[in-house]
Structure 1
Amino acid sequence: MAVDPSGQDLARLVEKDPGGPVVMLNLLRFAPDGRPSYEEYSRRAGRFLARYGAELLYAGDGEAPLVAEEGQDWDAVLLVRYPSREAFSRMVADPEYQEITGLRSGALTEAVLQPTTPWFTRGDGDG
């Protein structure tokens, strides 16, 4: 299973850019003994988030799902806000960032990395 975006994935992300910030949903399934490696990746990744104007909005452990098919549970969930899709793409292509991605890749057996777009912007709708 893929756990890291490919060059084609990044090109498609930027190509479909509606403009504005993007909140990236991260669903993570750890390899046996993978959590310490991911925690080290997270510590090191913080400076790249700052460098590219991103912000960790939420990080937490997944618990038993209330509604889901078998196999749809996740070990951890993160929400990260980037100022733009381009900023995310530049961050993951950064050669210094690439030096730490092995920590993340080796820690995971499966991942979902899904960009989101807001339903409402401030002042629109009731949300």
Structure 2
Amino acid sequence: MNTGHTGTGHTGTGHVNPTRDQFDAFKAGDRDAPVEMLNLVRLRDRAEYPAGHPLHGEGLTGAQAYARYGAESAPVLARLGGSILWRGQYQTMLIGPDDEVWDHVFVARYPSARAFLAMVTDSDYASAVIHRTAGVATSRLIRCGAAEPGTAFG
């Protein structure tokens, strides 16, 4: 069942950027192993650019701001050897909070945690991430390591 969800009207602060403790925990992990990041993203109805930004008050939607983020960050992702491994369309919550509805669901793969860290400290990425911050109401970014596929759960 597709919900047709395109935003929540949420304008408060959600989980958009990591806390210092979360970022420190990420950095404390193995930096040389490949990393797969599960991304769950809910967009704002209207983007919220900071005062002074050229797009502040222009009336962009969260989807438009996030599309700018994707377009501007893609070259950095590719340059560092990353890719989008899998992308899906959110349909419905089977187990979990009913209010967790997602506009984007995907897994990004990085050749290493070092590559991810290089991305988030890259100056071109820093210019792009302003669009993510403006467009995202809340998100979940979950670091995963590769595991062997199989035919059984667990």
- TM-score band by shorter chain is 0.7 to 0.9
1:67-116 per-position Cα deviation (integer Å, ceiling 9, x unaligned): 33221221210110001111101110112210111100111110111100
For structure 1, which segment, 68-77 or 106-115, has the greater mean C-alpha deviation from structure 2 after superposition? Answer: 68-77
CA contact (8 A) 2:32 2:114 kept: no
The whole-number CA distance in structure 1 between the counterparts of 2:99 and 2:146 is 27
The whole-number CA distance in structure 1 between the counterparts of 2:70 and 2:118 is 18
The whole-number CA distance in structure 2 between the counterparts of 1:28 and 1:71 is 13
Higher relative strand content: 1
CA contact (8 A) 2:34 2:146 kept: no
Please, which runs of 5 or more residues in structure 2 have no aligned partner?
A: 1-13, 46-60
The whole-number CA distance in structure 2 between the counterparts of 1:16 and 1:76 is 26
Aligned to 1:12: 25
The whole-number CA distance in structure 1 between the counterparts of 2:93 and 2:24 is 33
Match of 1:27 among 40, 61, 64: 40
Q: Could you say what secondary structure the match of 2:27 adopts? A: helix
Please, which runs of 5 or more residues in structure 1 have no aligned partner?
A: none
The whole-number CA distance in structure 2 between the counterparts of 1:48 and 1:60 is 22
The whole-number CA distance in structure 1 between the counterparts of 2:93 and 2:20 is 33
Normalised by the size of structure 1, how large is the TM-score?
0.84
TM-fit CA distance, 1:8: 4.6
Higher relative helix content: 1
TM-fit CA distance, 1:9: 3.3
Normalised by the size of structure 2, how large is the TM-score?
0.71
Query: Given the alignment of the two structures, is residue 86 of structure 1 paired with residue 99 of structure 2, yes or no?
Result: no
Match of 1:41 among 44, 69, 77: 69
- The 1:126–1:62 alpha-carbon spacing in structure 2 relative to 1, beyond 3 Å, is closer
TM-fit CA distance, 1:61: 2.8
- The 1:119–1:58 alpha-carbon spacing in structure 2 relative to 1, beyond 3 Å, is closer
Query: Given the alignment of the two structures, is residue 54 of structure 1 paired with residue 82 of structure 2, yes or no?
Result: yes
Identity %: 29
For structure 1, which segment, 52-61 or 24-33, has the greater mean C-alpha deviation from structure 2 after superposition? Answer: 52-61
- Count of residue pairs the alignment pairs up: 124
